[in-house]
Amino acid sequence: MIDLMLNWSEWIKPSAGLPTVQWSLLLALAAAAGYLLQRHLGLPKVLGYSAVGALAGFSGYTTASWPLDGISQFMVELGLSIVLFEAGGRLTLRWFRHNPMLLVQSLAEAVATYFAAWWVLSWFEVSEALRMPLALVLVATSPTVVMRVVADLRASGPVTDRAITLAALNTLYVLALGGVMARLLGRSPATLSDAIYPVILLLVASVLVGALLAWALRKALQTMSPTSENTAVLQLALIAAGTALAANFGGSAPLAALLAGILLKTLHPRPWSWPRQFGTASAILTILMFVLVSMAAAQAVWNWQTLSLMAALLLARALAKLAAIGLAGFGSGASPQQALWTAGTLAPMSVVALLLISQFAEFAPAIGREAAAIALPLILFMEALGPLMATLALQRAGEAGRPPAVRRVKSAGENTDAA
């Protein structure tokens, strides 16, 4: 593959270079694969995106490398920031006042998953230095996958709303704790102030950028039409600027975007009407993000001797989420069946977990390298299995419409019977 790309570079000289050809082809293939999987098999589109990225990573047909850096890391953070901004815009703080058990569910799910993963890692005698970062990675649920599956299935209902809320809160905890943990593990502070400074910088920079972004978007919505394409461009540009600023000043860009969405929903509680152009641009970035995530995970050094450890971690993760959501669900208005399907919807792992590992690789290279050997295969596996579990959970909950392929087959069968 490397020889082929070298030969291409001799006679294909577009203005932006050979990487432009590569990424254009990858995005085209990913979009086609996602569409065909949903249309003919009724599967989530994200499976097609991830499959194309994984094949590109395994074959070496890529210019991205692990750990992520530069433009690749910025594009992943930008795609996640847009999704988290939208997820934050769905969170209504008044809901937690009327139903505080939902917040209890969220905290219980995160804490139970962390300690379950810690116990499994201890049982397999994994190094103590790796237990904290790996346990936190196992906590992470991908709101990007959850929201894409919900959009593909046109799902709506109490399980769907609860799953999006729990995924957003889960991401809030993981991004804040993960950024702090990566910075502390990567330093040998001489004094207490040396240890506290990067933590304060992360939190303050993220909150300030999120607040500025929410204020700017609120002013824009007061003076511009929510359905205008110019408003969509303004929103995307401001989120991109916030992503760059947060990363530059030591904050977390996805965390800032999530906080901005929550603040904007609080300050501007009226229902949001996203322009169609915003959805199209967001879809392009989402495809690129999934391709990059699976591509980076596929390029890691895979340690097949840890398969039993990975299986045990995934089983403990699933049981911990199910037990915590089920036990904390009493008094939250959810039935045991709804708790079961909500836990299934929270199975996916993807970009949030990958960014966590990337942060550990940046601030604590030795720990990040060893953690990646275990975490990246887990991420790639759950990026494929997670959407299937979320799809099944939403369908069993009765909140997902039948896939287009199923509707066509059923309609054809009914027409034949009528004839």
In a domain, 9, yes or no: no
In a domain, 108, yes or no: yes
In a domain, 26, yes or no: no
In a domain, 168, yes or no: yes
In a domain, 60, yes or no: no
Rounded to an integer, what distance in angstroms lies between the CA atom of residue 201 and that of residue 375?
Answer: 27
Q: What is the pLDDT along the chain (419 residues), one digit of tens a residue?
A: 556 555 555 555 555 566 677 788 888 999 999 999 988 888 889 999 999 988 888 887 766 677 777 788 888 888 888 888 888 887 777 777 777 888 888 899 999 999 999 999 999 988 888 999 999 999 999 888 998 898 888 888 888 888 988 998 899 889 888 888 887 776 665 455 555 777 788 888 888 999 999 998 888 878 887 777 787 788 888 888 888 888 778 788 888 988 888 888 887 766 565 555 566 777 888 888 888 888 888 877 666 667 888 899 999 999 999 999 888 777 666 778 888 898 899 999 988 888 888 888 888 888 888 888 888 888 888 988 999 999 999 988 888 765 544 445 444 444 444 44
Please work out, in degrees rounded to the nearest 5, the angle formed at the alpha carbon of residue 373 by the alpha carbons of 367 and 377. 140
In a domain, 175, yes or no: yes
Q: What is the pLDDT of residue 83?
A: 86
Q: What is the pLDDT of residue 412?
A: 45
pTM of the model: 0.84
Neighbours of 24 (CB within 10 A): 12
Q: What is the pLDDT of residue 120?
A: 94
Q: Is the peptide bond before 67 cis (omega within 30 degrees of 0)?
A: yes
Q: How many domains are there within the chain? A: 1
Q: What is the pLDDT of residue 189?
A: 55
In a domain, 15, yes or no: no
Domain that holds residue 102: 66-408
Q: Which CATH number goes with the domain that contains 93?
A: 1.20.1530.20
In a domain, 82, yes or no: yes
